[in-house]
Amino acid sequence: MVLNCYPQCPEPDLTLGMPSHSDYGFLTILLQDEAEGLQVLHEGKWITVKPLSNSFVVNVGDHLEIFSNGRYKSVLHRVLVNPSKLRVSVASLHSLPFDAIVRPSTKLLNEANPRRYKDTDFGSFVDYISTCDSKEKSFLESRKLS
């Protein structure tokens, strides 16, 4: 579980609370407070996820995209800072043990829907983020079969 705290920022155009990323893992269940900040990338545009009281935001993560062979998309999201309010969110990250291998479910694969992702485990994620190359591709992009 991750507790994020974004202090109010007088110049919100100069920074981000959290840069654009997708979540590693299967599902993230997120509780945000009433201060706006979370945005998801939808059809090339950043859309603010309006806080809704007594509700959770559920994010599909990279593993679910891989397991579903791309049927469910791991959405890119980011957090803006708020000019007047401190913002707090609680993210509950749901995934498999570090040594488990995630791959597209064989039940979903056939000639019309061939496998689109490589086998993936925590080691491949660590290898990816620890290389010094410039990161033009996301980790998820690096797991796609061409």
Ligand X SMILES: O=C(O)CCC(=O)C(=O)O
From residue 120, alpha-carbon distances to 8, 60, 61, 117, 123 in Å are 38, 16, 13, 8, 8
Q: Which does 4 bind (CB under 5 to 8 A by kind): Fe ion, ligand X, none?
A: ligand X
Q: Does 23 bind Fe ion (CB under 5 A)?
A: yes
- The helix/strand/coil state of 33 is coil
Q: Binding string, 109-138, against ligand X, x = CB under 6 A?
A: ------------------------------
Q: What are phi and psi of 62, to 5 degrees?
A: -60, -40
How does DSSP classify residue 24?
Answer: S
Q: Does 23 bind ligand X (CB under 6 A)?
A: yes
**Contact window for ligand X (CB under 6 A) among 30-38, 95-103, 110-118, 125-133:** 30-38
Q: Does 20 bind ligand X (CB under 6 A)?
A: no
Q: Does 80 bind ligand X (CB under 6 A)?
A: no
Which has the closest alpha carbon to 99: 77, 122, 119, 81? 122
Q: What residues line the site for ligand X (CB under 6 A)? A: 2, 4, 18, 23, 30, 32, 38, 77, 79, 89, 91
